[in-house]
Amino acid sequence: MGQRTPLYDQHLALGAKMVDFGGWDMPLHYGSQVEEHHQVRRDCGVFDVSHMTVVDVEGADAKAYLQRLLANDVGRLGQVGKALYSAMLNERGGVVDDLIVYLTDWGYRLVVNASTRDKDLAWMQAQTEGFAVDVTERPELAMLAIQGPHARVRTSELVSQARAALIHELKPFHGRAVGDWFIGRTGYTGEDGLEIILPAEQAPDFLSELVGAGISPIGLGARDTLRLEAGLNLYGQDMTEDVSPLQANMAWTVAWEPAERDFIGRAELEAQKAQSDLPKLVGLVLEERGVLRAHQTVRINGVGEGEITSGSFSPTLGKAIALARVPAGAGDRAEVEIRGKWYPVRVVQPTFVRHGKVLV
């Protein structure tokens, strides 16, 4: 038996197929993964993401500590409520984890991955040496993500006036506290939506309200196809401790200025940046029938080979798509080995669908 979120019993009551995910018992789907995917693209749905780890960082040196810890620069958070996507790197430039960080009234709030919880907390604590900073996990909190083009309007109809007002005024990649709730607007689906962090004891009633209002529960299966269509990385597949942001389509998350900011892994990233043959993460589209899966070999004629890091059937495109790490010289055509046969694929920018619009 794995760890369980405060909503475990409700998942069972809603008919969820439960699976192990990073040591947590989580819903894969509630009947049809494909229908759940379409529900989020066309309307909205609610995900239980209470397995994610919420960490608050406070103290006189909180900013300086995070400027050392993260590849992106929290100095860019110019006002309370702004959010930033970043990676924590090791000295080799590999990704320890990716996360969201918010500037708050009390300091900073980080949301990191579930499967990396113990490793992340140990790493973050180890880096506090020399900084006047407190790093505090918040296991008493739960989190729900309501995602889709109608998510904000539908959710605002179910909450208090103060919370509804915040939902209406909240800009993308911002998050703020209202009472004992923290409401963010970041997302992992390529659609608009909300993340609501709230006391764990309040989560079951709120989920019941959402589902009762017709907002469908969505499992991890659709979460994965949605994020893949949006070209969003999954830790442990598209990026790892052996892969740098420059090799994972995350160069935009590295803040090189100010030049004197010595974040962990900077020296190695600068060395990689000077290389012309660094592998890159691209998108693949299979035009024929077949399935693209992680670890399948990608062959680029006259250039070399790479490997799929994430792959699946895209319900929106009606085709198999993938993210793949390939040699720097890859062009717009390649081949993928599927069960001993080679199939042609298009090489595209690794964003297939955003806000319901097909981009490839």
195 belongs to an annotated ligand binding site: yes
Pick from 357, 53, 18: which is nearest to 235 by CA?
A: 53
Cα 100 from Cα 85, distance rounded (Å) = 5
List of long-range contacts for 346-350, beta carbons under 8 Å, 24+ apart: 346/284, 346/285, 346/287, 347/282, 347/283, 347/284, 347/300, 348/282, 348/283, 348/284, 348/285, 349/231, 349/282, 349/283, 350/231, 350/249, 350/281, 350/282, 350/283, 350/323
The residue type of 225 is T
Residue 15: Cβ-neighbour burial (10 angstroms; 0-12, 13-18, 19+): exposed
CA angle 110, 247, 343 (to 5 degrees): 120
What Cα–Cα distance (Å) separates residue 112 from each residue in 56, 102, 215, 235? 11, 12, 26, 10
Residue carrying the six token digits 């991890």: 220
Residue numbers in the known binding site for substrate are: 195
Residue numbers in the known binding site are: 195
